[in-house]
Amino acid sequence: MEGLDRFNDISEVVEADRAHVWHHLSQHKQYDTGVDPRVIVEGKGMKVWDAKGKEHIDAVSGGVWTVNVGYGRESIANAVRDQLIKMNYFAGAAGSVPGAIFAQRLIEKMPGMTRVYYSNSGSEANEKVYKMVRQIAHRHHGGKKWKILYRDRDYHGTTIAALASAGQDQRAMQYGPFPDGFVRVPHCLEYRKQWDVENYGERAADAIEEVILREGPDTVGCLILEPVTAGGGVIVPPKGYWERVQEICKKYDILLAIDEVVCGVGRTGTWFGYQHYGIQPDFVTMAKGVASGYAAISCTVTTERVFEMFKDDPTDPMSYFRDISTFGGCTSGPAAALENMNIIEREGLLENTVKMGDYCLSNLAALMEKHKVIGDVRGKGLFLGAELVADRATKEPADEKKVQAVVADCMAQGVIIGATNRSLPGLNNTLCLSPALIATKDDIDHITGAIDGALTRVFG
């Protein structure tokens, strides 16, 4: 079988892509009018090269917050290769050596959690939570406590049930009708206050309790939240928010699920974002940075209390968690994840993330002093945002086309940044940065320098 080495002229690859590949999140009509699809052919460290040979510094870790330890990690590739030769796959009804070892290593980083369920995407990991909550409702609550609360602006995946819990409306448009029982609670972005109060974090959490009381506490089984909202605007919850959320969940016996698909495995400077806030979840989901994109893997991690609910009656054939993820049985994922974790520890990348995150935030603050179009800067670790506004006093969002023009200008300079997901009409105005955890001061200066130039050219 012929391989990629037969493509001496990369233009053949571009044309094959144009003719046959259906890209994610893309309007393909542009490729019929002379625009070439972007093909990334190589990556090393923080840099990637496209089919035209242009070099870019990647400030979004693979476009979607994934390549935490950077490109070209031979030790991960070798670990995967060695594992695949020995044992590549067996269904998850049985175990594997890397699966068992990674689960143990992972749990060591997550006090209070005890069990790891493998699948292959963040969407799927969250689906497992929803299925577990629904089965618990049937088996232990007489069919009650089946509703799942989710937060405005948060995002949990692309499947139909995950979209039912999407706090970004356009993401879900034209994909309904959706399953019942998913109920939205207000966001907690203090910059765009919904209540004029002093203790905003506590008030934003109290809004969750108001929804619970409206729906009926005996109907609500789970609350799912991102520790730091990602595509909805890089929202770091205000002081007091998480403590109050935990109190509310305990008060009404509601399971707390934390979606760490973006924040997990170092992105915020701790192994997991929730660990900044001293809370104890019942579920934690993760995907992207678990193996830094070197293999597909996601995990749904639970407490022993949750796990025990599926062992209560071994004589009942309906008592266990009747679920399977075919590619949750792949050994490449945990093999890659183990070496990914080793790299983070060996190179001190959690500490680097804190230092470089603080440095990047200070650079963004300096840009805010220079450019009136920046209304707010915020972030945690190497997960940062700069919200653009037409007027600081009114906080009217900046023109979305101009925001995208800033992203495009940076791209032309050879710097890849992101912006708030387009599924937030009228609020698609936050520039997003999530460089690899290996970022240096020079990298940060390069990235923020490109943003500086782009803001000057686009907004004056």
Return the structure tokens found at 131: 């299925």
Backbone CA torsion sign across 399, 60, 375, 168? positive
Mean pLDDT estimate for the chain: 94
CA-atom Rg of the chain in angstroms:
22
The closest alpha carbon to 89, from 331, 354, 376, 431, belongs to 331
421 — pLDDT class (breaks 50, 70, 90): low
The closest alpha carbon to 358, from 376, 334, 375, 383, belongs to 383
What is d(CA 85, CA 366) in angstroms, rounded to the nearest whole number? 51
pLDDT, tens only, 13-49? 999 989 999 999 888 989 888 899 999 999 999 999 9
pLDDT, tens only, 383-404? 999 999 999 999 999 999 999 9
pLDDT (0 to 100) of residue 460: 84
Element (H, E) at 246: helix 241-251
Element (H, E) at 20: helix 10-20
Strands 182-185, 430-433: pairing is: unpaired
> What's the 3-state SS for 284-343?
EEECHHHCCCCCCCEEEEECHHHHHCCCCCCCCCCCCCCCCCHHHHECHHHHHHHHHHHH
pLDDT, tens only, 86-102? 999 999 999 999 999 99
Beta carbons of 299 and 259 less than 8 angstroms apart: no
What residues have CB less than 8 Å from 14, skipping those under 6 apart?
36, 37, 39, 51
What is d(CA 436, CA 446) in angstroms, rounded to the nearest whole number? 14
DSSP category for residue 281: -
What is d(CA 356, CA 365) in angstroms, rounded to the nearest whole number? 14
What is d(CA 274, CA 259) in angstroms, rounded to the nearest whole number? 9
pLDDT of 150 > 80? The answer is yes
pLDDT of 1 > 70? The answer is no
**C-alpha distances in Å from residue 56, one per residue of 17, 40, 42, 100, 363:** 21, 10, 11, 38, 20
Q: Rounded to the nearest 10 degrees, how much is the dihedral formed by the CA atoms of 6, 10, 15, 16?
A: 40
pLDDT (0 to 100) of residue 420: 85
What residues have CB less than 8 Å from 360, skipping those under 6 apart?
379, 382, 384, 433, 435, 439, 444, 447, 448
pTM, 2 dp? 0.94
**C-alpha distances in Å from residue 274, one per residue of 217, 264, 284, 346:** 24, 9, 9, 23
Torsions phi, psi for 437 (to 5 deg): -70, -5
Q: What's the count of helices (H) and strands (E) in the chain, helices before strands?
A: 13, 16
> What letters, b where the CB count within 10 A reaches 16 and e where it falls short, cover 424-450?
beebbbbbbbbbbbbbeeebbebbbeb
Q: What is the average per-residue pLDDT within 217-241?
A: 96
pLDDT (0 to 100) of residue 6: 47
Beta carbons of 102 and 300 less than 8 angstroms apart: no
pLDDT (0 to 100) of residue 360: 98
pLDDT (0 to 100) of residue 3: 47
Beta carbons of 105 and 338 less than 8 angstroms apart: yes
pLDDT (0 to 100) of residue 170: 87
Strands 298-302, 115-119: pairing is: antiparallel
4 — pLDDT class (breaks 50, 70, 90): very low
pLDDT of 423 > 60? The answer is no
Torsions phi, psi for 128 (to 5 deg): -60, -40
pLDDT of 2 > 50? The answer is no
Q: Would you call 15 helix, strand, or coil by DSSP?
A: helix
What is d(CA 300, CA 294) in angstroms, rounded to the nearest whole number? 19
The closest alpha carbon to 217, from 188, 260, 179, 183, belongs to 183
Q: What is the average per-residue pLDDT within 203-231?
A: 97
pLDDT (0 to 100) of residue 297: 98
pLDDT, tens only, 296-353? 999 999 999 999 999 989 999 999 999 999 999 999 999 999 999 999 999 999 999 9
